[in-house]
Amino acid sequence: MISLFAVVCGLIAWVFVRYILTSFYIIDQNQRAVLTNFGRAQRLGGTTTLELPIAESLGNEEKNRYAYPQVRVVQPGFYWKWPWQQVHRVSIATGTLNMAYDPEAPEANQNGTILDAVTKDQLNIGLDGQIRFRISEANLYAYLFGVKRPLSHVMGYFVSVLRERIANFESPPREISGDVSDLSAADAAVAYGVSINDLRKNLRDLNEHMDQECRSSAARYGMVLDASLITGIDPPPEVESALAAINTAHNQVSSGISLAQAAADQKIVQSRRAVEIETLKAQTEIEPLERMATQLDSLKESGPTVLQSYVRNVKMSLYERSERAFVEIGS
């Protein structure tokens, strides 16, 4: 029979292995953790996330809904816990996902590659791009205990904001005569498809708008959207060719306008150069006359006889170079 001593030694060994050796844990450099006592996280007094800068992007109604308590965050290192305590680890490394990825249905959105959206002109377009995210160390309570599936909430929030922005985006108005419902695919692209071009031209503004609108995700779900990068917008197949023709015509018109402006600028430069040349010629002809007038003024100031002598000498030099002279004789 098993002795009482053996039973006690076995129990002690089991307690040592079960509650002593397994109570040591390590938190890596790219990890953070929250320690719970009987399922309750260790709080930092009565402070909440509303006192942090991440709550500045929340509205007044949202502040009452997303007021999460501040908890003690376990930093990287080697620790020991009591048997009734539990460690909840999270990785704070930045992750990247396709914006079309659905965590609850990976096969949706063409296996998480293209996100469908509808523009204000009722055209279905496909969006392609990436988003970068990381877990907010300042709001680990929301990520671990406030939301059941934080990634699903963040992706759903991002997609809803993006689709709302696409749906409310307005293209420049176009004047179309007749009934719009009777237009062909090509004419519809002329009337409406320009909005896709506008979306493509304003990808940077669209990305900045998404970054601005998603700043509250850290206070809402404990996840920070570092950046969103929309890289492609694909129009419907039925207007793809018409849209390409519009782009080609637009490029041709822009090229013609640029050439005309260049030719006009060249003519303006040539005209200015010609004016400068003629001005210089006129100045060269005027300068000797101005000098002569200055000399005559100086002679006149020397005395009235000096100017008459100068005129007589000039006439004599002219007579010497002339072959004939006509003298007027009074009647």
Output the 3-class SS for 217-233. Answer: HHHHHCEEEEEEEEEEE
Mean pLDDT for 151-171 is 84
Neighbours of 258 (CB within 10 A): 10
**What is the per-residue pLDDT across 98-150, written as a single tens digit (0 to 9) for each?**
988 888 888 888 888 888 888 877 778 888 888 899 999 999 999 999 888 88
The verdict on 71 and 105 lying in the same domain is no
The verdict on 222 and 116 lying in the same domain is yes
Angle at 138 between CA 136 and CA 144, to 5 degrees: 65
Burial state string for 98-118 with b = 16 or more CB within 10 A and e = fewer than 16: bbbbbeeeeeebeebebbebe
Indicate which CATH number applies to the domain containing 156: 3.30.479.30
Residue 178 within a domain = yes
Cβ 34 vs Cβ 135: under 8 Å: no
Predicted TM-score (pTM) of the model is 0.60
The verdict on 109 and 202 lying in the same domain is yes
Residue 224 within a domain = yes
The verdict on 122 and 231 lying in the same domain is yes
pLDDT band per the 50, 70, 90 thresholds, residue 70: very high
The verdict on 80 and 208 lying in the same domain is no
Among 75, 213, 231, smallest CA distance to 157 is for 213
Q: What is d(CA 132, CA 209) in angstroms, rounded to the nearest whole number? A: 15
Residue 215 has pLDDT above 60, yes or no: yes
Residue 325 within a domain = no
The domain boundary residue, chosen from 33, 67, 90: 90
- Residue 115: phi, psi to the nearest 5? -100, 125
Q: What is d(CA 162, CA 130) in angstroms, rounded to the nearest whole number? A: 13
**What is the per-residue pLDDT across 288-312, written as a single tens digit (0 to 9) for each?**
777 777 877 777 777 767 767 777 7
Q: What three-state secondary structure class fits 70?
A: strand
Burial state string for 83-95 with b = 16 or more CB within 10 A and e = fewer than 16: eeeeebebeeeee
**What is the per-residue pLDDT across 73-110, written as a single tens digit (0 to 9) for each?**
999 999 988 888 899 999 999 989 898 888 888 888 88
pLDDT band per the 50, 70, 90 thresholds, residue 33: very high
Residues 6+ apart with CB under 8 A from 121: 171, 192, 193, 195
DSSP designation for 149: S
The verdict on 181 and 105 lying in the same domain is yes
The domain boundary residue, chosen from 90, 105, 136: 90
Neighbours of 129 (CB within 10 A): 19
Cβ 126 vs Cβ 134: under 8 Å: no
Please give the tally of structural domains in the chain. Answer: 3
The verdict on 173 and 196 lying in the same domain is yes
The verdict on 291 and 156 lying in the same domain is no
Neighbours of 147 (CB within 10 A): 19
User: Would you state the structure tokens that stand for residue 209, as one six-digit string?
Assistant: 């708008």
Q: What is d(CA 230, CA 22) in angstroms, rounded to the nearest whole number? A: 46
Tokens 């790219």 belong to: 30
End-to-end CA distance of the chain: 177
Helices 203-213, 194-201: axis angle to 10 degrees equals 70
Residue 82 within a domain = yes
Which amino acid is present at 15?
V
The verdict on 86 and 122 lying in the same domain is no
Q: What three-state secondary structure class fits 129?
A: strand
Q: Which domain holds residue 278?
A: 268-319
Residue 328 within a domain = no
The verdict on 29 and 65 lying in the same domain is yes
Residue 162 within a domain = yes
Residue 17 within a domain = yes
Residue 256 within a domain = no
The domain boundary residue, chosen from 64, 90, 116: 90
Residue 245 has pLDDT above 70, yes or no: no
The verdict on 19 and 67 lying in the same domain is yes
The verdict on 78 and 120 lying in the same domain is no
Cβ 220 vs Cβ 238: under 8 Å: no
